Structure 1
Amino acid sequence: MLPKFVYAVNYGNSRFDEMWKIQKQLHLARQQKRNPDILIFTEHEHVYTFGKSSNQNHLLANEDELNKKGIETFEIDRGGDITYHGPGQIVCYPIINLSDYSEDIHKYLRNLEEVIIRTLSSLNIKSTRNSDYTGVWIENEKIAAIGVKVSRWITMHGFAFNNFPDLTFYDRIIPCGIFHKGVTSLKQFGIEISNLELINLFKKYFAEVFNMEIVSISKEELIKILDSSILETESELIKN
């Protein structure tokens, strides 16, 4: 089978609400077949996000603490419970059509885990899945959280991988609603790797696991794609 053509962009730093809006625009455009599959890699400002199955009690900080630390909160449409995003963490948002791969959400989640597991293996770190919880683990601690939304077989949201974040921000939540397990990062294992190097590894293993032909584009090229998709959508609305 021929590999699927996919764009990949290193977006750099972004606010969560900015990137959520971009995801929604790309998701709609992908449904309308206005653009190919896209992988977005970004690094967010401090934020806690609540998935559809979140318990508000899993946020341990009060409003004053959040304001002092400059932490925003959002209730969003992905699966899962509360999680943290912030500097030193790579977040990947695949906007892909599963009809071109496999219309199986569980397989998609396992494939995302496999991308991360192979990336860690290339850094000589043994990681595993957990039969009870989605994500990637090193012994009893999670290094990558996964939460997705799939609508009309188009995906959004994705995974968050801890490279060198400040792990104390996890002290203010029950990460993913799991009380008895911890979180970790590459930094905890003495591994120093830039986000750019790590993103290149992720792209390599996305290509392997999903049989993709990945073409890297710039942030500016992504914005042009967005602008073009919005104009085409508005034109269709005017016609109708």
Structure 2
Amino acid sequence: MDVKWLGTVDYIDSLTLQNQSVEKNKITGRNLILGCEHSSVITLGRRSEGDGEIRSKTHLPVVKVSRGGHATLHSPGQLVIYPILNLRELKLTVRDAICLLEKATQASLKSLGIETHRKHEEPGLYTDKGKIAFLGINVSHGITSHGVSINVSNDLSLFKNIRSCGIENESFDRVASYNDQILTHELFNRWVSEFQELLQKESSCI
């Protein structure tokens, strides 16, 4: 499995890179995990109600995407992870993949002393203070794109621009509330290690 840290990447450029990586995976079957940060941008998933999930006075760019879920927001200081995984090669169902991504996220946060849980039956993870991690994928020809985002040191006030994941008055948390020394690329490395370990141990995730 290849792993690449991209640094700060324009969101549209990341979509192009994901699409190219999916096409390459169709030929090679080689799995890839991309890690990055984005400038501030609102993204609307397939379940989004469009403008109904965006605050009217927002100045942020808005992009409609193919992942599952509702509206979310990316900004500097948030870790974004794009696993390009061939589910057939890995013998995983879509449900398995989502569960493994979530477990890797939970384990990487726990390694920093941050306990998380699920809520609302929505993908993503919460602390007692609010939502700290988001999950939404797309699967095309058995290959995943999009993925996970984790609030590390980003400005949480920017979430006021959206009705996150279709939920009114959602509260949010970030890693910096517990550990202000960890950098996004360091958390990315922890996440990749946890994911690879889980992948070796579990062929399914129930």
Unmatched runs of 5 consecutive residues or more in structure 1: 1-5, 213-240
Which residue is equivalent to 2:21? 26
Q: How does 1:98-137 map to 2 (within 5 A)?
A: 98-130=87-119, 132-137=121-126
Tell me: CA distance 1:141–1:102, structure 2 relative to 1, closer, same or farther (3 Å).
farther
Write the mapping of 1:160-199 to structure 2, written as runs, cut at 5 A: 160-199=149-188
> For the pair shown, which has the larger CA radius of gyration, 1 or 2?
1
The code of the aligned residue for 1:90 comes to L
C-alpha separation in 2, matches of 1:103 and 1:190: 34
What amino acid does structure 2 have at the position aligned with 1:24?
A: N
The whole-number CA distance in structure 1 between the counterparts of 2:117 and 2:97 is 16
User: Which runs of structure 2 are paired with 1:20-59 in the superposition (5 Å)?
Assistant: 20-33=15-28, 36-56=30-50, 57-59=52-54
Name the aligned partner's letter for residue 6 of structure 2.
Y
CA-atom RMSD in angstroms: 1.6
Cα contact 2:9–2:39 (8 A) shared by 1: yes
Question: Secondary structure at the residue paired with 1:182?
Answer: coil
Cα distance between partner residues in 1 of 2:156 and 2:120: 24
Answer whether contact 2:55 2:163 (CA < 8 A) is retained.
yes
2:66 is aligned with 1:77: yes
Aligned length: 200
Which residue identity is paired with 2:7? G
Cα offset, 1:140, TM superposition: 5.6
More helix by share: 1
Identity of aligned residues (%): 27
Q: What's the secondary structure of 1:126's corresponding residue?
A: coil
Shift of 1:196: 2.2
CA distance in 1, matches of 2:84, 2:66: 15
Aligned to 1:9: 4
Checking the alignment, whether the CA contact within 8 Å between 1:113 and 1:129 is kept in structure 2 is: no
Q: Name the CA distance, whole Å, in 2 between partners of 1:150 and 1:143.
A: 24
**Segments of 4+ in structure 1 off by > 6 A?**
none
Alignment of 1:158 with 2:147, yes or no, is: yes
SS in 2 for 1:183: coil
Unaligned runs of 5+ in 2: 202-206
User: What secondary structure does 2:101 align onto?
Assistant: helix
Residue of structure 1 equivalent to 2:204: none
| TM-score, scaled to structure 2 | 0.91
